Chains A and B, each alone.
Chain A
Amino acid sequence: MTTNALKSKSSTSGQAGDKIFSGTALAAGVLILVTLFAVAIFLLIQALPTFVADPADISGGEGFFAYIWPIVIGTVIAAAIALLIATPIGIGVALFISHFAPRKVAGPLGYVIDLLAAIPSVIYGAWGYMVLAPALVPIFEWLAANLGFIPIFAGPASQTGKTMFTAGIVLAVMVLPIITSLSREIFLQTPKLHEEAALALGATRWEMITMSVIPFARPGIISAVMLGLGRALGETMAVALVLSTGNLIPSLIKSGNQTIAAEIALNFPEAFGLRLAELIAAGLVLFLITLIVNMIARGIIARHKEFSGAN
């Protein structure tokens, strides 16, 4: 078959185009991998001085661990407040849009909630700083006066309202749209057959939701909350602007506490030398925490996907 007519007609330029194009696409994908890898290395190198330095030279004078753990705890507290508030409301809003609101307004309502997600974080921070914090002062005073025996509400309450509790509320507003939009998607995917089966048995709407919608959506809700957690852990501006920072304290209505992200944002602009390395190391810690949280969330989604195929 040396005189194959099909061979001679094949245009080499076209084949070269194919190779160039697929090569470019491949290069772009590899670029992402290389960048992430390089960046991880660079971060480690930049953070390294923190781990080899004399513990007395680290902020606080007791080494990196003593420096980082209070702000890790602070980060977790802020995120926990945010989730405690945002999860029930977020799921409620999602249910409202998917199963309660009239169909005609459900779409626009979903868009309104999505608008919440579109507002830049610095604007939430500014709003928390100037509007929410002063508005919460009377509530904090009331809490300190009536529930002050509980450590988290120990007084005297902050007179500016710039506390962990305020920061947590601002974070809640910011993660609410994430939880809402993801759970809404899952709720809408509930098989109509299951819903109608429940209704045909004489279930009320709420019973139908507990019988068919919630069991179907549970993994989706969990992963939505986890993704919200990831966002809350890494959110910077809300805390940097809203929280009057300080040492780790149990009370949520006094000034004090700090989160990793805000620590970096507030100190990085003036940092150099070992302080810079410290902040980059703190960033690494934050990255690892959010990475684990996001992995768990994605793991749940991925496992859920395999099962939902049957529906």
Chain B
Amino acid sequence: MAKRIDVNALNVYYSKFLAVEDISINIEPKSVTAFIGPSGCGKSTFLRTLNRMHEVIPGGRVEGEVLLDGDDLYGPGVDPVTVRSQIGMVFQRPNPFPTMSIKDNVLAGVKLNGKKISRSDADSLVEKSLRGANLWNEVKDRLDKPGSGLSGGQQQRLCIARTIAVKPDVILMDEPCSALDPISTLAIEDLINELKSDYTVVIVTHNMQQAARVSDKTAFFNIAGTGKPGKLIEYNDTAAIFSNPEQKATEDYVSGRFG
């Protein structure tokens, strides 16, 4: 559980367009790392390269290495499906499967791959995952109801439960709170704090206060202009980024002067 990620000189492309250039970053296990930066700076694109979701988009490809505890995700013969079952992802908008019950949503990662699982194992996995996502008490009486009947914040926690049910090493979150109200956001942030004890968490956020509240380290991304590639400007302890940034651009951004 909880592996480290090391990225070496990664370029990310959409067909011929270089979207993110030359990223090298080391993400520690059992920590929360936040990616911040203005819209279009490539932070979400970069996040998606960390579990090979980027290549789902037609034309999406990368150059460079992403190492999960030393194993290259993009090495020859590596199956993206294996990568994704070890590095889970939570999306911007909660996306429970509409045809499935809450319980089936949690078990989706297990069941959809056709793995056999006994009833008691399934029940305990559902309870464990939902407890892990701080959702168990709210839904334990309606596990057979459709997941789309939950509130937005509950749906997002259901998606997190679904992600941790496949027992990943790393959880990526792409602006998980941007579609949620403040109270649901708070619940998710509390959950992120708890997840850190078992998983490596990487979160992209637009909200600098959120980055300051939940993360141990923060990476600031920026672009020089439209059509230029996004770059990693500064990566440091969150406290340092927000109180004492080394770069002028970082200081401008965190102090709200642009973006």
Contacts and interface: CB of A to CB of B under 8 A. Distances in A.
Do chains A and B make direct contact within the complex (CB under 8 angstroms)? Answer: yes
Interface of A: 1, 4-7, 9-11, 14-15
Main secondary structure on A side of the interface with B: helix
Contact of B81 (A1, A4, A14): A14
B71 interface: yes
Nearest to B83: A6
22 contacts: A1-B72, A1-B75, A4-B75, A5-B69, A6-B68, A6-B71, A6-B73, A6-B75, A6-B78, A6-B79, A6-B86, A7-B71, A7-B78, A7-B79, A9-B82, A10-B77, A10-B78, A10-B81, A10-B82, A11-B82, A15-B79, A15-B81
B170 to A, nearest CB: 12
Interface residues of B, number: 14
A9 B86 CA distance: 10
A144 to B, nearest CB: 65
A-B CB proximity, top 9 nearest: A10-B79, A10-B82, A4-B71, A6-B78, A6-B71, A5-B71, A1-B75, A7-B77, A9-B82
Interface of B: 68-69, 71-73, 75, 77-79, 81-83, 86, 113
Interface centre among A6, A9, A14, A15 (most CB of B within 10 A): A6
A4 B72 contact: yes
Nearest to B81: A14
B72 to A, nearest CB: 5
A15 B78 CA distance: 11
A1 B8 CA distance: 15
Contacts of B68: 6
A4 B66 CA distance: 12
Contacts of B79: 6-7, 10-11, 14-15
A15 B75 CA distance: 17
A124 to B, nearest CB: 40
Contacts of B77: 4, 7, 10
